[in-house]
Structure 1
């Protein structure tokens, strides 16, 4: 398997621009960043080139989502702001050439509006696909557990499959986060085994603590085997919070040559 380091959660002992070299020195050939917009795309591209790395994925801006808000992609009142975020993402795509862009569905804090939020999200997700596909980039979207983010509107593999079927676009895929779906009680190995061809990106952390493999309940031998057997050929993003230093958390990487 091909592993990418998520530079938003790994190597946070260092400033962002120094994390690229740390990832390369730790054995990674690719990275992902949740939100790269605090740096110019040219600055990020220089670090990628200098360290021989590929940027696999980043997210469309999500407004206040990480601060406990509802985010951007599903809120009816934020339609114009979402379009502006797509334009910003396209500028970064043109320089950084990622394989995929993730659209975070966001939360709905008023349950009486959930249907409206889901409708807006599907409209915006379709708009994202038609924006990014001509740039040679696939669009992904992910489910997130409702323990960490109460009210998150997409929180199961089943929901993602339903949206995929409804929108039916060849450049739209799921981003499957092993930690989040394990937290929601899904059989992640079985889901990946059955649906690998519909997944555009995979991320992982152990559960329930979101640490590195070996700190929780997930059998990563089973999960990584399922990824290999599913036919999924994309990158697998290490998006965990190290329980000590990032460098000390990487023992799992040395044991993954069998997958």
Structure 2
């Protein structure tokens, strides 16, 4: 049976962020993920996790100057010092919160910069990140984002993300396979799941095209969840979607998997 983690950046927005941990636990989740922890003190996050009985399984490295169009720095030539400082900062949080998976954000390709140069920079920064946490139980992840969600992001196809992982060539660097993005760009999700089993270390879900609960739209999630069980996937499945209305009102889809 898949293990589901609530994405607190998108779900339970009815209450302030720190209160979402308890709300997710009451709804039956055992784990959470979110975009960024950096606006909160480590001790406050540890308290929220301890009181809720949850574990956090994923967050991202810092995004950079979002108001200037940035969405990560690790693939930006000339920004290596900043990117590595952000990686170090993320690892401080990751270690304190016993995080199993950290998504290293590549970034939007700057105007006039060759994508190949960005890819080379990304590979080197991922190797730096891997060296910083060598011997620790922290998995580093690479994610492809659909152009409709993040125009100009270095990676849009899952096959680009897989190529980066192959070039980094480190055992604890894997793909963060978001099926919402993958369906829009690549399709053939069953092929991705089957052929690249072992290459992805975390999965995320949402309906396509509207990014709501996974009980609508063009993806047959129950069938894909069964495929993951057959393939022996033991990682987490992050629920990175925007609820149609109140979060708990839309969790009917989860009952089947909570009580199989």
How far did 1:251 drift?
A: 1.0
Aligned-pair Cα RMSD in Å: 1.7
Measured in 1, the distance between the counterparts of 2:70 and 2:61 equals: 16
The question of 1:38 aligning with 2:39 is answered yes
Name segments (4+ residues, structure 1) moved above 6 Å: none
Alignment partner, residue 189 of structure 2: 188
Specify the SS of the correspondent of 1:101: strand
Q: Is the 8 A contact 1:195 1:230 kept in 2?
A: no
Offset, 1:90:
1.8
Moved more, 13-22 or 72-81: 72-81
Structure 1 residue 68: Cα displacement:
2.9
Please tell me whether residue 152 in structure 1 is matched to residue 159 in structure 2. Answer: no
Give the drift of 1:24: 0.2
Structure 1 unaligned runs (5+)? Answer: none
Tell me: CA distance 1:182–1:193, structure 2 relative to 1, closer, same or farther (3 Å).
same
Within 1, Cα distance between the matches of 2:39 and 2:113? 35
Q: Is the 8 Å Cα contact of residues 132 and 139 (structure 1) preserved in structure 2?
A: no
Q: C-alpha deviations, 1:188-245, integer Å up to 9, x for none?
A: 2221122221111111111111111123211112221222122211111100001111
Distance of 2:53 and 2:258 partners within structure 1: 21
Give SS of 2:140's match.
strand
1:70 and 1:94, CA in 2 relative to 1: closer, same or farther beyond 3 A?
closer
Contact 1:142 1:174 in 2 (8 A): yes
Task: Give the CA deviation at 1:247.
Answer: 0.9
Contact kept? 1:189, 1:227, Cα under 8 Å: no
Q: Which runs of 5+ in 2 are unaligned?
A: none
Equivalent pairs, count: 259
Corresponding position: 1:13 with 2:14? yes
- Does structure 1 conserve the Cα–Cα contact (< 8 Å) formed by 2:142 and 2:165? no
Shift of 1:167: 1.8
Residue correspondence of structure 1 range 9-158 to structure 2 within 5 A: 9-65=10-66, 68-69=69-70, 71-110=72-111, 112-158=113-159
